[in-house]
Structures are given as C-alpha cells and as structure tokens.
Amino acid sequence: MRRWNGWGDDSVTYPLPPLAAALLEARIGPASPPRDATPSEALAAVSPPRPLSHPLVKSDAVERLRHARGQSFPDWVALRTARIPAFPDGVAYPFTEADVAELIRFASQVGARLIPYGGGTSVVGHINPLPGDDRPTLTVDLSRMNRLLRLDDVSRLATFAAGVAGPDLEAQLRARGYTLGHFPQSFEYSTLGGWIATRSSGQESLGFGRIEDLFAGGRLLSPAGLLELPPFPASAAGPDLRHLVLGSEGRLGILTEATVRVTPLADSEPLTVHALFFPDWKAAQAAVRQIAQARLPISLVRLSTPTETETTLALAGHRRLIAALERMLALRKVGEGKCLLLLGCRGRSRASKAACREALAIAEREGGVSVGRAFGKRWAKARFRTPYLRNTLWEMGYGVDTLETAVVWKDVAGAVDAIEAALHAALAPFGERVHVFSHLSHVYPSGCSIYTTLIFRLATDPEETLARWQAMKTAASQAIVAVGGTISHQHGVGVDHAAYLPAEKGELGMALLRDAARRLDPAGLMNPGKLLR
C-alpha cells in the first residue's frame, strides 16, 4: 500500500549505508528520530467536511486525508505531525470525460473549488487546498482515467486518458511495441496529465525530449467549455495553444485526454550508462558543455559536483570496492575534488553507437577517465528507488529537500556557487549546518539545469523545522533570481514558487496569464493559489 505520510510503497525501504551515515554525522552532526503522528491521530485531526452531495464524490476522512497534501517538505511536516491546515471537502473519481464535465458543472452550481489530482507527487504545493477558503474544495482524482484510447501506428501517436500513471502508460505502449521514454524520478506514481500540467522533464530528456516535445495535442475541459488541441506535426496558425496548457497547473481546466509522440522499442533499447570521473569541476563542465553543443543523439547526461560525487560514492556502500576504485583513479591523477559523469545511450543502431563513442571521446579529451558500465548500471537500476531515502533519513532525524533551476552555460559555475552558499548562510543563524550537493542534467546547447539537494537536521519543534526550511528555500530562490535562472526547470510553480514568478514573466506576462485564467475560468474555481497568487 502507498504510504500516507511519505514516499512510495510502504513495503519498500532503502537503508542508508554506514559510510553514508558517517558522512552525514561528520558534516551536520548526529540527529534524533522524530516522533511521528499515527494514522489514527492524523484521522482525528481531519475537520468535518462542508457538504458536497454528488454520486461521484466521497467525503470520508481517509480519502480526504490522503488527498490533502503532496510531497513537498512542508507537506511532509504537516502529514508527519498531523498539523494539516486544510482538507478537501470531497474527493471525486471520474471514469470518463463526461464525468469530468459533470463535476465541473456541479462545482459551478455550488461554488466549489476544483483541484485536479494526478499522482499526488507535487513537491511545490500543487494539490493543497487553501487554508481559510470560504468555498468548499473538491479534489478530482483522475487515476481511473488511465486507458490507452487510440494508437496511430502510421503517425506514431498515442492518445491516453490523462490520469494514466507512468508504469501503466509504458506497459500499455510496450505491449504494442512502443515507448514514450518519459522517466521523471516520480515515474512510478506521477501521471501523464500531471507531467503536462507542470512541464515535466524526464531523466532521459536529452534523448526523448521534455514533455513539451512529446505532447502533441489533447482535450482540456474548463468551466468556460472545451479547448481542443489537434495533434498537428507543426502549425503556423497563430500562437500554439498547447503551450498555454503546458505548465498551466490546473488553473485553466482539467486535461482529460493527451496525444503523445511515441518511439518504437526497437529503436530505443537497450539503455547503457557509462561512468567517467574528472579530476576537477572545471574540466567536467567543459566536457558536458561540448557534448551538449555537439547535439549528439544520446539519452542522458548527469554531472555531479565534487560533493555530490563524494556523497554518491558513500551511498554506494561497498567500502572495499570504492577504495579500489579510488586507488585506480589516483593512478590517473583523479583524486580529491573528482566529479562523476553518467553518460546514457540507447539503441543498437550504428548512429547510436557512433554518438556514444563520440561523447565518450569528448569527455576523455577533457580529462575524463572511463570506469566502464557497472557503476552506471547500478545507478540506472536504483534511479526510482532513490526517493525512498527521504523516508529513511526522516526516520533518522534528517530532513531532505531538493530545488532546481536552469541557466545558460556562462552562468553555470556562478549559479551553483551562489545557490549552495545561500543555503549554508541561511541555516547558520539557527546554529545548524546543512549538507548541500548539486548536479547538472537536462543539458541543452545553450545551457543546462542545476539540481541541488539539501540535508539538514530536524528540530524537536515542527515549527522550528519549518522555519529552517523556509529560510533556506527563500535564500536559494532569491539567489536563483539574482543569477538570472528560471525559478523552476521541472518542478513547476505551485505555491512555493509563486512569489518569484513575476521576476521571470514580468508585469505584462503575468497579466496575460491572469487574463487566460479569467477567460477559461471566470468564477475562479480552478486550483486557486497555484501558479498565480
């Protein structure tokens, strides 16, 4: 069964290796396990619902608790302490587009807010009811709208009901010889509609493309009516309305169908991940930039800073093997300050193999030392299990969060330094330390994303824990804006980033977004407080 107050299946654990535990204790100090609220305590805290009487709507406490929060750090604090300020008043499970239309009509009649709910994996507050809202809130869980509706083999287009989760989408495609190739770290639970609504990026976006490259068209039901987006291969007929829906975060309506561009399995398997180590961060960045600007048809590039490399090796857990690896690297003058690059390639074609060889050659010219595929194979096998470490670390007394941005290449080094320095400085007034590390991924010819992880000790008082997190989140967000980065490359805006969106869009851009929301949702029913404050 899925955890109600953490990540993933409650039968799956990811133990922290002793080497990694020792590293954390040395960097930020020993921690004390918190006392979490029990399910019965959390259920007792569920407030009475405002009436939403409809055959499709459930209002029992369990459903309302399970749909009250997502996976952001404040969400975890709320769930683990049973201090949840607001709950949906009802949860609906539509089966068809007609059901969704009926729920929108019902919400319009009774004045209820509507929150579209995919997999509940948001890390920036996309699915949270607003505290103090005087209207009832209805969460629309699309998980039962999960079928492949049409497959056009000639055009390689697949149309799904938008509530389909990653594994179900891939299973239905693979049975017919195709893949979408969109693999965010939340893949096991996140949905196609959620990927589109947040402009998601999969771990192999370099090869398959981001969701905006894969999303060909679809159907959006709004309070104002149906917005249909035909899956043209290209069009010069005015602005592309797909890009209004992409990243709309439920403010414009509910996506019921999505048509996506798929790839034959025969062209995309297998995935091989090569590991290389560089002597320093500067050389590693130069190699990754050259690989991106060569526009090679490879699948994945992930470059870790020295601190993330050290942390990754500690998490590997095999003390003797890591020691042998480091001795071998030392002979090649790759020692302290080394950086790990993972390079993923897909396919058996001559072009795929040639591209992989060229990428490896570029890396080696910049000083990269290849250590083969074993390390990369281990990473690929565990890439969807890594989020389970959040559960393990919380239970040890450590909080974990991530943040991300994207900048142009000339600003990468300065942005990494500024973000990490801001996080350290923000926690210092609390008399605490934070373990911070970053990697570059989702590379483009002009720049790349920066993904930063922070680990810090939980306080005895949950309000103190939230204050520590908020100080770091604010400082890092301000640093991102100051260096000219986007406030989000892949997590979206939600509530956590909404204050920083005007710095990116400008006054007129924000007005355009508000105008679009008013046109499609005149009464302000759709997912209030997200994207637009």
CB 195 within 8 A of CB 182: yes
Residue 433 has pLDDT above 80, yes or no: yes
| Structure tokens belonging to residue 242 | 């797909």
3-state secondary structure 143-178: CCCCCEEEEECCCCEEEEECCCEHHHHHHHHHCCCE
- 304-334 residue pLDDT tens: 999 999 999 999 877 888 889 999 999 999 9
| H or E stretch at 230 | none
Q: Which residues contact 139 (CB under 8 A, 6 or more apart)?
A: 67, 88, 90, 91, 92, 115, 117, 127, 129
Nearest to 338 by CA among 292, 375, 283, 289: 283
Tell me the pLDDT tens digit for each residue of 260-283: 999 999 888 899 999 999 999 999
Taking residues 424-443, report their average pLDDT. 98
Please give the radius of gyration of the chain, using alpha carbons only, rounded to the nearest integer: 23
* Coil/strand/helix, residue 373: coil
CB neighbours of residue 163 within 10 Å = 30
Predicted confidence (pLDDT) per residue in 506-521, tens digit? 999 999 999 999 999 9
Please report the domains of the chain, with CATH numbers, ordered by start residue: 270-382 (3.30.70.3450)
Residues 6 or more apart in contact with residue 298 via CB below 8 angstroms: 206, 207, 291, 343, 344, 345, 346, 352, 355, 356, 359
CB-CB contact of 281 with 306 (8 Å): yes
Over residues 404-418, mean pLDDT: 98
Contact 253, 526 (CB under 8 A): yes
pTM over 0.75: yes
Max CA distance (Å), the chain: 73
Interval 457-512: pLDDT, tens: 999 999 999 999 999 999 999 999 999 999 999 999 999 999 999 999 999 999 99
Give residue for tokens 């637009």.
Answer: 532
Distance of alpha carbon 167 from its chain centroid, rounded? 16
Structure tokens, 117: 């709910």
HEC readout, 492-503: CCCCCCHHHHHH
Residues in the chain: 533
